[in-house]
Amino acid sequence: MKTNMLVGFATYLAVFGPAAANANDIGKDQVPKAVLDSFEQAHPNARDVEYEAQRFEGSPAYVIEFKENGREYESLYTLEGSLIRQQEETD
The CATH number given to whatever domain includes residue 68 is 3.10.450
Question: Is 19 a domain residue?
Answer: no
Which residues is 85 bridged to in the sheet?
Answer: 76
Model confidence pTM above 0.75: no
33 pLDDT higher than 50: yes
Question: Is 55 a domain residue?
Answer: yes
Question: Is 48 a domain residue?
Answer: yes
Question: Is 60 a domain residue?
Answer: yes
Question: Is 20 a domain residue?
Answer: no
H-type alpha helices, 1-91: 2-22, 33-42
Question: Is 3 a domain residue?
Answer: no
**pLDDT bracket for residue 9 (50, 70, 90):** very low
Alpha carbons 29 and 73: distance in angstroms, whole number: 21
- Domain around 42: 25-88
Question: Is 74 a domain residue?
Answer: yes
Alpha carbons 42 and 63: distance in angstroms, whole number: 15
